[in-house]
Structures are given as C-alpha cells and as structure tokens.
Copies of this chain bind each other. A is one copy, B any other.
Amino acid sequence: MTASAKLRFTISMSLDGFVAGPIESVGNPLGIGGERLHDWVVPLAAWRAPHGYEGGEVNESTPVFEESLANVGATLMGRGMFGGAPGPWNANHPWNGWWGDNPPFHHPVFVLTHHTREPLALEGGTTFTFVTNGIEEALELAMTAAGGKDVALLGGASAAQQYLVADLVDEMEISLVPTLLGGGKRLFDSVGANLHGLDLVRTIATPKVTHFKFARHGRD
C-alpha cells in the first residue's frame, strides 16, 4: 500500500449502538427497524444519482456523503454485508449481492468470507473478489487494486471490529442516528477501551443524524 492511501470506515449507527436491527433476513437485510439508519442518506440527491434516481435533497449531510465516495479506489466488506445464506456458496443458486446487475461501486470490491468462490464481474466496473485469508490479505489486495486511492470499509460490525482492533482503520465516520433499535449487531463490542489511535476531528450535527469523523494521530 502507498504511504498516503487510507482505509476509511463509514457506517450509520443508532443511539443504542446498533448498525443493524434484530433478526436480519434476505427480505430485511438490515434487521427490524434497521432501515431507519439510512433515513438520512436515501433522500440525498448525492445518494439518489448513483443509484439511478433523479431529484433529492441537498443538506448538511451532503458533503459528508460525497466525501465518503471521493477518492475511493476499492471497497472492503464482510460476508454479512454482501449477503447470501451463511455457509458455502451455492453454485446452482448463486447470490450476487444486493445491488443488481450494475452495482453502484464501479470499482473492485473485496468480500471477507470463509468460503472460496471465483471472482464475480458485474456491469459498470464492479468486480467482487472473495478473500478467505483474513483481513490483512483483503486490505493488501484492496490497496493494490485501489492504485493509490483510498479503500472504503463499509462494515458490517464483525469486519469493522476486526480492522479496528488491528489498528488498521485510518479514518472512521460514524453517522449517529437518534433512534433506538433495541437489538441487532452492536458496532462497538469487543473492541476494547480505546479508539485504536483515532481522534475525533469533526462533528456535523443535523436534526436527522450527527456525523462524527475520526482520524488517526499524525495523519491529515
């Protein structure tokens, strides 16, 4: 990886610390109530355009969302966020992610999994590569693929916890939504009693969400 490329983790979290609600399923991938975590981003024009919709809002969250997309050359995510049934991939009924034939990434995406699978090339430049040798190899592959740009880590909780505990996260943007989910996946669970070298560097408060940006000591 180049000296200046960063691993940037962005996620939305409820006031009670959940990044997905209880009882996740194919029909309800964010768990019960979990879609409330995205109520701030889905109305944004900046979110709607890359997802193929016209119109939308411009507000104080717009620059935060735009920043999360800027200068990103590759994406990392856990198997849960990619989706599909747990266990080995089913070659007869392949799961190709939540995002349809033309996912909004348009760059290489690396999925942490325990089960090998051939890379999956979809339209628009998105290729999913399945990595079974752990978080460090996945990060190396993603940094190489990003070609000097940053790598986005999207979650879920388990993948994020592993990168945080390994002190590999360079920036973290927590979008805190003032709601309670009452259960589900907690982001800050078993990650210890410190922020793993990260400091709060910016807070943007809006009625729907508060964005907390953390950055590593000594990095810009």
Contact = CB atoms under 8 A, between A and B. Distances in A.
Contacts of A178: 195, 200, 212, 214
Contact of A205 (B15, B193, B205): B205
Interface in A1-44: 15-17, 21, 32-33
Interface stretch (A75-83, A107-115, A120-128, A179-187): A179-187
A193 B174 contact: no
The A interface is mostly helix, strand or loop, or mixed, namely: loop
Contacts of A176: 176
Interface residues of A, number: 31
A195 B179 contact: yes
A23 to B, nearest CB: 11
B205 A203 contact: yes
A180 B194 contact: yes
A191 interface: yes
Given A180-B193, A188-B180, A203 B214 contact: no
Most chain-B Cβ atoms within 10 A of its Cβ — which of A33, A193, A203? A193
Interface of A: 15-17, 21, 32-33, 174, 176, 178-183, 186, 188-189, 191-195, 200, 203-207, 210, 212, 214
